[in-house]
Amino acid sequence: MFEFIEPATILKKYIEGYYLVEINNSKEFLPAERVFPNGHVNLIFHYGAPSKFKNKHSTEYIEPRLVLCGQQTAYYEVSLSGNTGMILIVFKPHGLKSFFKFPINEISNENISLNDLIKNEANELEDRLLNCSINSQRIFCIEHFLIERLVFSKDFDRVEHAIKLIARSKGQIKTQLLAQEVCLGIKQFERIFSKHVGLNPKKFISIVRFQSVIEMQRKSGNSDLIHLALENGYYDQSHFIHDFKSHTGLAPNKFFNGSK
């Protein structure tokens, strides 16, 4: 079972939505799936058996029941349990900072137990969730938890405007222009953006552009990689190949041919 649910109106400014995943399979773990950077931070609650996680710098391990997945700059691999039941809360790129005091760049390329960040509150949330019997109850508990933590950030609107400009340009915009658009000096803008998004603007832009290439190829079926590179603002082939290898571990031709 795979289902998407929209957040409550008060949370739509910060959260894309909730993905519900349930699997009932006799295997202990399913084959690993490679996941690529997408510019979002996720909070996952496993009410079934947790997944196995591995990035390119770590050994494989079983995730905590409540895990916060920071911004990723390279691929990672996930093996879902054969008895999966999970809620994936997908935050907007700048959304998580409105619920937590720490700078979001501190958890980049990390999967961290929520218990390690807010021990007592995480334990209480986990207990409430484990006592729920259906997903509507679990989502109600999650939203109550988030709404209670929601705080106003004076820099939120600036970062939100920059995120919208990056999305509109499909990752073809310079950091200097973004700083000008939000009326900040470039160093101050980079610091504020990183604190809210978890990545510096240049790295986040590269991920948006990378995702734009994938979406364009999926829609058009165009296998002309040079055309894809030029359409998405890569200044030469080596730049295109370097970005893809950085994010996926694969050259573009191998990536689009489904090779690993």
Divide the 260 residues of the chain into consecutive groups of 10 and give the mean pLDDT of each group.
96 98 96 95 97 88 96 95 98 97 93 94 96 97 97 93 97 97 97 97 96 90 80 87 91 78
Every domain of the chain with CATH number 2.60.120.10 lies at 2-148
Rounded to whole angstroms, the Cα distance separating 100 from 190 reads: 19
Residues 2-148: name the CATH superfamily. Jelly Rolls (2.60.120.10)
Please report the pLDDT score of residue 222 as a whole number: 67
Rounded to whole angstroms, the Cα distance separating 193 from 94 reads: 8
Which residues neighbour 190 within 8 Å (Cβ) at sequence distance 6 or greater?
175, 179, 200, 201
Please report the pLDDT score of residue 80 as a whole number: 97
Please report the pLDDT score of residue 66 as a whole number: 98
Please report the pLDDT score of residue 78 as a whole number: 96
Every domain of the chain with CATH number 1.10.10.60 lies at 156-256
CA distances from 15 to 51, 130, 194, 202, 241 (A): 23, 22, 18, 23, 32
Please report the pLDDT score of residue 220 as a whole number: 81
Strand 41-46 and strand 66-69: pairing?
A: antiparallel
Rounded to whole angstroms, the Cα distance separating 198 from 203 reads: 10
Class at the top of the CATH hierarchy for domain 156-256: mainly alpha
